[in-house]
Structure 1
Amino acid sequence: MSASPYTESIGRLIDELTKLPGIGEKTAQRLTFFLLKAPEEDVKELANALIAVKEHVRYCSVCGNITEQDPCRICRDDRRNKQMICVVEEPNDLFAIERTREYSGLYHVLMGTLSPLDGIGPEDIRIQELLVRLQQASCEEVIIATNPNVEGEATAMYLAKLLKPLGIKITRIAHGIPVGGDLEYADEITMTRALEGRREL
């Protein structure tokens, strides 16, 4: 086995960067050498930003969104429609919906999906917290916005079955053909969802 061509500190940084999602060894090497050439002040700012995120960012005690102030900005906002709760898998899904500026209700972040094969059951994600919220609040509609994959669909069906007895309207976001997509390349599930989610023009 040949020795590493890098110094110990460079090798360590490359190893740490490869732990990030989507970063292979080649990309980690490029980033490392980019950082070596960068001004020291820029590298220190990056390091400080990483530390600050870990020290100051937490999860909202109400909805599970990431925040620096608890409860989060959305939960504190009196202009939001308190009658609607949109259930998402992760905080980044919440941000994707917020970017549309079309939704004005509240959120509930599950922090995952049901996945029996991976040993993730209802007690491993924030379903109990959702039930407690719904019992304490006067919510009229729960929008289930989990991803259109096997785990997301299983989670959506489980939630619908669990919440139906509460007498709350349960809806599922429509999934369909993306803008710019061709029908011939759509799979059967996407095409079915597109037809189911059709609306009158």
Structure 2
Amino acid sequence: MNIDRIKFIILLPCVLLCISHLGHAEIGYEPFGFSQKRWNDMRKAIEDGRVPGEKMEVSTMSVQAIELPPPAPGAVVELPYESRLAITGRKLIGINLKYTKYDLPLENRTQEQTSMDMKQELQVKIKGQVAKKISVNVDFDDTVADKRDISVVYRGDPDEFIQDLSFGDINMSLPGTEFVGYSKQAFGIKLVTKRKGWNATYIASQSKGTPETK
């Protein structure tokens, strides 16, 4: 066998071993290995339009919760389950625009005159029951003079101390006799109580309407 060929066969493993150590030292070569996590990360990066291996910037901005303002007082009204109210009404807003032009205006009158009149009407009726023992009756009409009837009445059970409690437009009447009877409408509070066979009526009112005597 040729001596040069023998030298080459002996030196070849040494050269390959040196190249292998050089690759590990400078290039940073690592043996190939499969990782399911790296594969999933790479696939997700491609699906998101990013380069595999690119680090994602995590936002550190804090999000503050927005507090809604509390509801306006009186905007929400909760009624008991037994409540029944019927509300009807009408609101009218009318505008009358008048334009006048004179062919021969007078000395104290302009040739053109414009006038506008506005008319508003409101009619509201509320009738029903709030809870079990309270009834409500409201009749408002600004087209009729003194048409503002408001009545809130509480009716107690036969064994309760308070038998009747009325607020608003109440009717003050005395039991009629053969010769005299009295009835008058007023705005105020009326309380009727009962205790051991004794009945009492209390009234605090402002005069309304005209008294009637017969």
TM-score by length of 2: 0.20
- Greater strand proportion: 2
Structure scoring higher RCO (CA < 8 A, sep ≥ 6) equals 1
Structure with more of its chain in helix, by fraction = 1
Q: TM-score, normalised by structure 1?
A: 0.21
